[in-house]
Each structure stands twice: as structure tokens, then as C-alpha cells.
Amino acid sequence: MAVARFWRENASRYNLIGSRCGVCGRIYFPPRSVCPTCHRRSIGKMEPFKLKGEGEVITFSIVHDAPSQLEMQKPYVIAIIKMDEGVNITAQVIDIDPTDVHIGLRVRATLRKISDEGAAGVINYGYKFMPL
Ligand SMILES: [Zn+2]
């Protein structure tokens, strides 16, 4: 992956910045440069849009077979979270007993270390969600 793209995507991920279509108002995360509904009419009208970082669990699964870098954390919960702005994000839910996670649980995004691996020992950060 090109360095510029790497940093652009990470800046978006770190800051929960998606995009909002200036034509129809739909919000996308990750950001898009063209609205899939408005197509050409949206070119040049997509604006950065920062998600508030709160939403609710719409579906989840408890993972017992973790990959080795997550070995210390298992079992852990991966959920699809519907953000208040209407977009869905798949992420880990932390700071809760996995058996207490349920559909409708209100959660808030928090920036956490994901792993120490990756190119040149880069530490990867990303969003996880914790109960509100
Ligand atoms: Zn649109």
C-alpha cells in the first residue's frame, strides 16, 4: 500500500472521519469520494464528516479461537455497531464480560492499540468500543 494512502486511511480511522454527501446528505464510513446514490452529481460535494463515536450493538459474536496476537484477550467480542449517524462499523467490544454483551447495548468508540505487528514494527491503533 502506498504510504500516502496508508496515512490517509489511518487518519480517517483514528479520527472516525467519514464523508457526507452534499447532495443527499448520506453519511459514509470509511469516507468515499463519490456518493453511490448520487454518482456524478456528488463529485466535489463530498464533505468530511466526523462521527460522534456512539452507537449500539446490532449483532455480535463471541470469538473463542483467537489469532495468536489476540491470544491473551480471548474470548473476546466482535460486534457490528450501528453508529448514531446510521453507518455500521465492525469492531471489538472491550471492558465488558462477553456474556453481558447484547443487541441494543449502547457503546462508545475508544482508540486502542490493536497489535504490535505490521510493517517495520509499526504499532497499529484502531477503534474498539466500550459500554457507555
Ligand atoms: Zn448522495
What is the three-class DSSP state of 124?
Answer: strand
Condensed to tens digits (0 to 9), the pLDDT of residues 108-123 reads: 999 877 666 555 555 5
DSSP secondary structure letters along 62-88: EE-S--GGGGGG-SEEEEEEEETTS-E
Whichever domain contains 91, its CATH number is: 2.40.50.840
Q: Is the omega angle on the peptide bond into residue 31 within 30 degrees of 0, that is, cis?
A: no
pLDDT reading at 81 higher than 60: yes
What local confidence, expressed as pLDDT, does residue 7 receive? 60
Cα-to-centroid distance, 49 and ligand 1 (Å): 14
CA of 41 from ligand 1 middle (Å) equals: 8
Cα-to-centroid distance, 122 and ligand 1 (Å): 36
Distance in Å, CA 9 to ligand 1 centroid: 21
Residue 35 is placed in which grid cell?
Answer: 456518493
- 37 C-alpha to ligand 1 centroid (Å): 5
Residue 65 sits in the same domain as residue 122: yes
Asked whether 60 and 77 are in contact (CB, 8 A), the reply is: yes
pLDDT (0 to 100) of residue 41:
97
Percent of residues, the chain, with pLDDT higher than 90:
61
Tally Cβ neighbours within 10 Å of residue 18.
22
The Å distance, Cα 98 to ligand 1 centre, comes to 37
Count of domains observed in the chain: 2
Share of the chain above pLDDT 70, in %: 74
pLDDT band at 63 (very low <50, low <70, confident <90, very high): confident
- Using the mean position of ligand 1's atoms as its centre, give its distance from the Cα of residue 110 in Å: 29
- Which range marks the domain in which residue 14 is found? 1-50
The answer to whether residues 5 and 66 belong to one domain is no
* Shared domain check, 124 and 96: yes
Residues 6+ apart with CB under 8 A from 88: 58, 80, 81, 82
Which among 50, 68, 85 is the end of a domain?
50
- Retrieve residue 113's grid coordinates: 492499540
pLDDT at residue 91 above 70?
yes
Residues 113 and 101 grouped into a single domain = yes
Q: Are residues 67 and 33 in the same domain?
A: no
pLDDT of residue 130 exceeding 60:
yes
Same domain for 96 and 129, yes or no, is yes
